[in-house]
Amino acid sequence: MKKTVLITGATSGIGLACAQKFAANGDRLILTGRNGKRLAEIQKELTDQGAEVITLVFDVRDRKKATDCLNGLPKEWQDIDVLINNAGLALGLEPEYEGNPDDWETMIDTNIKGLLTMTRLIVPGMVSRNRGHIINIGSVAGDAAYAGGNVYCATKAAVKALSDGLRIDVADTAIRVTNLKPGLVETNFSNTRFHGDTARAATVYKGIKPLTGDDIADVAVYAANAPEHVQIAEVLILATHQASGSVIVRK
């Protein structure tokens, strides 16, 4: 059955991979992000392949803009079956006592408040229809802190708690909640964390074959298409030579 899938942060990395995988699965897509030009390019690429795609340009930190964009969806697109809360980022790798408060606010506002905004806007409709699936992109960082990760790890621990809490809240419905927790995934994640320092970002993946966005998207598609009585509550996805957020064997 064709689903309507909304993906935040769909212009790159895991979000883009999810868009491509769900499109290939025959689903129709609502893609959101801050970069309107890039969203338009992705929309053309996917529609040329036969997918139905709508794009919404907003930052998940902007609750009013997010609300206006979702309220403005055509009626036939308003029944969202799958929400993928993917928009998120890490900034900086300093000790907590040396961190940049502006970086803290951006991470907290995006990774936690942005996820809450999208959940608040979309899940009530799922409850009224008694169907739907929320897939939150968490992280291995939410299981235990690693050096320099402090605030980012805290935001991903919050994603785990919010996923668990929402799953409890909707347990009397047919709605499912999944928390995907990737380890090292080679996207523009590290480039963003190091504020565009490409050379430093490259060292993160040195000596290990990291995961790709496609690897995570494959799991998201699997979870979304599991039988109705099956809820994939949480999945930790690591590269073969990564044992935890802090244990990585480089060769």
Active-site residues, by number, are 152
> What's the CA gap between 221 and 49, in Å, rounded?
18
AA letter at 106: T
> What's the CA gap between 225 and 98, in Å, rounded?
44
* DSSP E strands, 127-216: 133-137, 176-182
Write out the two tokens for 180. 């995907």
- Buried b / exposed e across 182-200, counting CB within 10 Å, b at 16+? bbbbbbebbeebbeeeeee
**Are 224 and 3 within 8 A, CB to CB?**
yes
Please report how the helices 115-129 and 63-71 are oriented relative to each other, as an axis angle in degrees rounded to 10: 30
Please report how the helices 150-169 and 115-129 are oriented relative to each other, as an axis angle in degrees rounded to 10: 10
